[in-house]
Chains A and B, each alone.
Chain A
């Protein structure tokens, strides 16, 4: 069982549509990060959420951390083909050295 469950696994939509992807866990976290990974590249950090209920916006992307700090969502408004990629949520391991534990990701394809 993965620590972080991401859904959906795959999402294929048309340009201009809105979408939401989810990252869920039964554990409580002090912070959670969202990354985007394009094919053949490494993950790039989009945002870190820290406070329960926190909402952060990055242009057309809206990130929310659950009130209980167990889950998070990413909402994209008016998706563009450039949003295509693998969206990963990640948390820091509590055991030290701040290594990241990733979910399996949501693979998004936005078609023109």
Chain B
């Protein structure tokens, strides 16, 4: 499968625990986006990487959230001290070099914080 891969697909955690999600974009894509989607809403932008550089972060990305893309390939999104309000689907999308190129989304990681 050469699409965008996200792991794990589901994560259940207790409030206060740390969680980390991984995204493997399509191999030749240098643009990578993270989005969050809650029930009944569309995806909301969290952060954007161009290669290994994190170029934009949403105000939604509190200081408990950190994202990395160390070698410009896969990316990780970590949430520290999770809260019940963090429960959501976390989606990753990647795109080619040109900004107007189509984005491809992964299947997401569904996080439930108990």
Contacts and interface: CB of A to CB of B under 8 A. Distances in A.
Contacts of B55: 97
A104 B44 CA distance: 10
Nearest to A102: B42
B4 interface: yes
Contacts, number: 55
Contacts of B93: 42
Does more than half of chain A's interface fall in helix, strand or loop, or is it mixed?
loop
B45 interface: yes
A77 B80 CA distance: 47
Contact of A42 (B31, B56, B95, B106): B106
Interface residues of A, number: 22
B74 interface: no
B91 A101 contact: no
Contacts of B108: 40-42
Interface in A4-18: 4, 9
A105 B56 CA distance: 25
A81 B55 CA distance: 41
A100 B105 CA distance: 12
Interface in B74-111: 91, 93, 95, 99-100, 102-103, 105-108, 110
Interface of A: 4, 9, 40-45, 88, 90, 92-93, 96-105
